[in-house]
A and B are shown apart, each in its own frame.
Chain A
Amino acid sequence: MKVTIQKWNTVATWRWDIPEEDVCGICQVHFDGTCPTCKYPGDDCQLLSGKCGHNFHMHCIMEWIKQESSRGQCPMCRQPFEWTDQNNESAGQIE
């Protein structure tokens, strides 16, 4: 018998490619979920990774940074929060 696969319609799930921690330190929602203000995960609700190694929902951290009291620090480690180059583009747009 000769078997040929003609079509393969499969299903996959996506996840953010980040190590270990799975919930946003600010909103405590899973990264693969949405921040409280968003409806759709993924493209609509990006992540922002800090150089300090902490990740947040972009909307969450932007909200945080906007506050005076944050003094631009990462809420987890209190180091100045700088995001990695990868997301520079989008972050720049928001600022």
Chain B
Amino acid sequence: MVMTVTNSKVHARRQKVFRSVFETRISQPTPLLPATEPGQPFGGPSAAFLANTPRLTHPANDQVRWDRAWHVVTSRIQLPSSVAAEDSFGTLAPDSSQDVDDAFRSSLLLVLNPASALPNASHTEDILSWHSQQVRQHFVNHVLPLLAACTSQGDHTQVLLTSIRTLEAANRQYLYGLSLILRAFRDEDAANAAVVKFRRDLHAVIGNSWTQGLLDALRDVLNRLATDVLRAGDMQASSPEPDREEEEDSQASDSRGELLRILESLSKVGLAGEKFQTLFAEVMNSCMDAFIQRNYAGVWTSSDDFGASTVSTVFSGCMAHLGDWVENHYARLTVEVFSRMGSKIEWSDVEMWKNVAIARLSTLRIHELFDIVLSWPESKGGVEDLRSAVTTPQRRLQLTDTFSAALQKRLLQPGRSTLYILQTYISMIRTFHALDHSKVLLDRVVHALQLYLCQRDDAIRIVVTGLLSHPKETTPEDSRGKLVELAAILNDASLQQRRHVDDDDLDWNDMLWLPDPVDAGVNYKRPKNEDVIGTLISALGSHDIFIKEFQSIIATRLLSGQPGIQQEVKVLGLLKRRFGESALQNCDVMLRDIQDSKRVDAAIGKSMESQQDQDGNIISFHSKILSRLFWPSLPKEPFTVPETVAEMQRQYEASFEHLKSSRKLNWLDNLGLATVHLELEDRTLTIECKTYEATVIYAFGQDEAAGEQGPAKRTFNDLWQKLMIDEDLLEEALAFWVSQRVIRDVGEQTYVVLEKLEDDVENAGADAAPATGEMEGGPPSPRKAKGMSAKEQEQRGIYWQFIVGMLTNSSPAMPLAQMMMMMKMLIPDGCSWSNEELQDFLEEKIAAGELELAGGKYRLPKK
């Protein structure tokens, strides 16, 4: 009970508040009548008649007259209460007869000027506000449901059109009522003011009546039309096919017309308000995105054929096209649209749009940058776009961040070969140079790459071999796996003009001087040119490592019996300029050794009496004489050379000592090449091979007179003892000859000369086949493997000494990580091992009892 009372109280209060804000009373066609005196006539046609009688001064009379006039007027302009279909708005109320009209007019005059005509009427109201109130009510009750019904239609265009039609009809209806009222206005200004006010009210109502369906429909239609219109600015639109162009142009103008028509009707019915503007802005925004994506994604060619005429020449390629498009298509459409809505577009707005568009394009380009790098130099246009757009530090930062991420994701992976990474890096150097001469951007992105390249052991080797390769000779097959680009760059003289940069900043006459970029790091030095090789080398870690690797590679090449050393000299010259003479002195000496020994060899060759073996064949004997301290570790694996060769060596030595007083020679028999001529029963072979290989096969050829039956047979141990050769070398040599099908493995480490090829076929099923197959599968690269293992052995010795020292002096027990860190820091050349390698090594030592592992820490066993 109490609840009900309070409820009703609250309800009443709410009603009161509502009424104080909204005048609900006048929503009735006729106002509530105050109590009228009995006997007074009310309603009916006589009211109009009464209204005409001039002098009635009784207040109650006035009130009655007012009420009657009000009734006449309101019933005349009252809107149809129920709306069945949209076309109910289509027809206006039929023109009524003249007398009704007259009655209406006179009533209207009363209603409009109650103060003068009916001074005694106590209760009067403003017909205009009543009308707008009525309209509002009507709109909410009848038109909105209709609009909602419209949006349920499937086709968006249809939705839009019917909605507009509905609203137009409603508008007409509402304005008709207003116009009736306005007829009585004598003052034109007041009439206009009333119309404006009403219109504003109406538009406010309509403008707030957007339904989601209508919004969607309008967005869709606008999007479609705007896209159609703007499509005329596409790059493809400037294609040479006139038919298509015309067709597209007509389509564009059709769309433009339609768009503007829709817009006009929208603004007429009052839908062109703030909501529409927001919507239109959104649509135009997405249009710009779509246009940029459609036209420029992946288009990097800087075609100069489309118009860069109106736009400033700072921009080129896509940028120019984009600027042009914004100005001539985008802005034009917007200006047209806005002028329909009565607003204006400033030139500064167009400039702003241009900037926005350029920013969008540059964002696109930034995201494409990695692909641009990959397809350099075809993608030059893309870089040009970026260069003109990426001007602010923020954008530069965005660029480097995005690129770094792409780099990390797409390049720095175990799946990428070192060669590929290096090739990409070269492209990067060039792309970024084109983008930003100051190299700041490159420096910022390249750090991760450099770190990663340090993990790739073969990186330096690839670079050096690339530098040393012959650009002209290499066929496509050869160039695979090599960085021939480097050789090409090296040989291109125009790229090698490096100016001295020492007193760069002091060159007061340098008219091209620029301040350092704001985002440059400390110790920044402006590079003078793109300098691919220099940047590449600097990415490979410290110079010492590079020089060391260069030495070992150049040593291998110099000893490989290649005819000329021009390429080496050239590369050396380049590196000298970069690293300084003294750093590369060893290489200098190496080259000099080769040149000198050619001369010395010729001199000795002349003085030496030509040596003949027992059958009178002349051996041509040549040697390279090296300065041993200047070459990277030359492994010495002595063995007994064939007697004839030994004799030659003795002579050679004597000649040398004669030529160069108080100097002696040490032979490195395992290096070098020999040519052997093999006469077998069914074939003769002339094979160039390593000296130790020649020695081994020579051992098979000997002793034939010693009465052996059948083909010569040697066991591994025989050869080993006889030649005093290293086991590994012997094994390699035997494997080489087996692969050459000169000898075959008959098991138990015994090898037999293959006098006839058929013998091999006979035995192929047994055990010869696997051996040869194996050899074919993995072609032997004896020297490299040998050299590596010797070097490795030496390195292990050094590391072990270091570890022992560390555990003795520094701390008695250390975990693996700490050891690794110490070794990396303190061993002069750095430690090339990974954690795993060190662990393996330490485990070996533990197995050998030289080390103990306790509680995750290594320590030396106590003695």
Binding site for B on A (CB under 8 A): 1-18, 30, 32-33, 39-43, 47, 49, 86
Which listed residue (B634, B672, B712, B742) contacts A13, Cβ 8 A?
Answer: B634
A/B interface sample: 27 pairs, CB < 8 A: A1-B678, A1-B680, A1-B700, A1-B704, A1-B753, A2-B704, A3-B679, A3-B700, A4-B678, A5-B613, A8-B648, A8-B691, A10-B671, A11-B559, A11-B624, A11-B668, A12-B623, A12-B625, A12-B667, A14-B663, A14-B665, A15-B663, A33-B630, A40-B627, A41-B629, A42-B596, A47-B662
Structural contact, A12 and B665, CB atoms closer than 8 A: yes
A43 to B625, CA, bound (A): 13
The SS class assigned to the A binding surface is: strand
In the complex, chain B residues 646-676 whose Cβ is within 8 Å of any chain A Cβ: 648-649, 656-657, 660-669, 671-676
CB neighbours (8 Å) of B559 from chain A are 11
The stretch of B2-10, B40-48, B585-593, B833-841 that contacts the partner chain: B585-593
Structural contact, A6 and B677, CB atoms closer than 8 A: yes
Structural contact, A17 and B662, CB atoms closer than 8 A: yes
Structural contact, B755 and A11, CB atoms closer than 8 A: no
Chain B interface extent, by class = 35 or more
> Contacts A39-B589, A40-B592, A86-B661 hold; do A12 and B613 have CB atoms under 8 A apart?
no
A16 to B661, CA, bound (A): 9
In the complex, chain B residues 298-356 whose Cβ is within 8 Å of any chain A Cβ: none
B241 to chain A, nearest CB (A): 69
Query: Is B113 engaged at the interface, CB distance under 8 Å to the other chain?
Result: no
CB neighbours (8 Å) of B628 from chain A are 13-15, 32
B599 to chain A, nearest CB (A): 11
A9 to B620, CA, bound (A): 8
CB neighbours (8 Å) of B702 from chain A are 3
CB neighbours (8 Å) of B630 from chain A are 33, 41
- Per-residue contact bits, chain B 739-766, to A (CB 8 Å; 1 contact, 0 not): 0001000000000010100000000000
Structural contact, A6 and B623, CB atoms closer than 8 A: no
- Per-residue contact bits, chain B 677-707, to A (CB 8 Å; 1 contact, 0 not): 1111000001010010010011011101000
A2 to B702, CA, bound (A): 8
Structural contact, B663 and A17, CB atoms closer than 8 A: yes
A88 to chain B, nearest CB (A): 12
Which listed residue (A3, A30, A32) contacts B678, Cβ 8 A?
Answer: A3
> Contacts A13-B627, A40-B589, A41-B627 hold; do A5 and B642 have CB atoms under 8 A apart?
yes
CB neighbours (8 Å) of A2 from chain B are 678-679, 701, 704
B837 to chain A, nearest CB (A): 31
B744 to chain A, nearest CB (A): 12
CB neighbours (8 Å) of A30 from chain B are 629
B5 to chain A, nearest CB (A): 116
CB neighbours (8 Å) of A10 from chain B are 621-624, 649, 667-669, 671-672, 691
A40 to chain B, nearest CB (A): 6
Structural contact, A17 and B617, CB atoms closer than 8 A: no
Chain B residue nearest to A32 (CB atoms) is B629
Chain A residue nearest to B691 (CB atoms) is A10
A43 to B659, CA, bound (A): 11
A12 to B621, CA, bound (A): 12
Structural contact, A11 and B674, CB atoms closer than 8 A: no
Structural contact, B592 and A14, CB atoms closer than 8 A: no
Which listed residue (B625, B629, B657, B712) contacts A1, Cβ 8 A?
Answer: B712
Known contacts A6-B617, A14-B660, A14-B666; 17 further A-B pairs (Cβ under 8 A): A1-B680, A1-B700, A1-B704, A3-B679, A5-B698, A7-B619, A7-B621, A8-B620, A10-B621, A10-B669, A11-B623, A11-B667, A12-B666, A13-B668, A14-B664, A39-B588, A86-B662
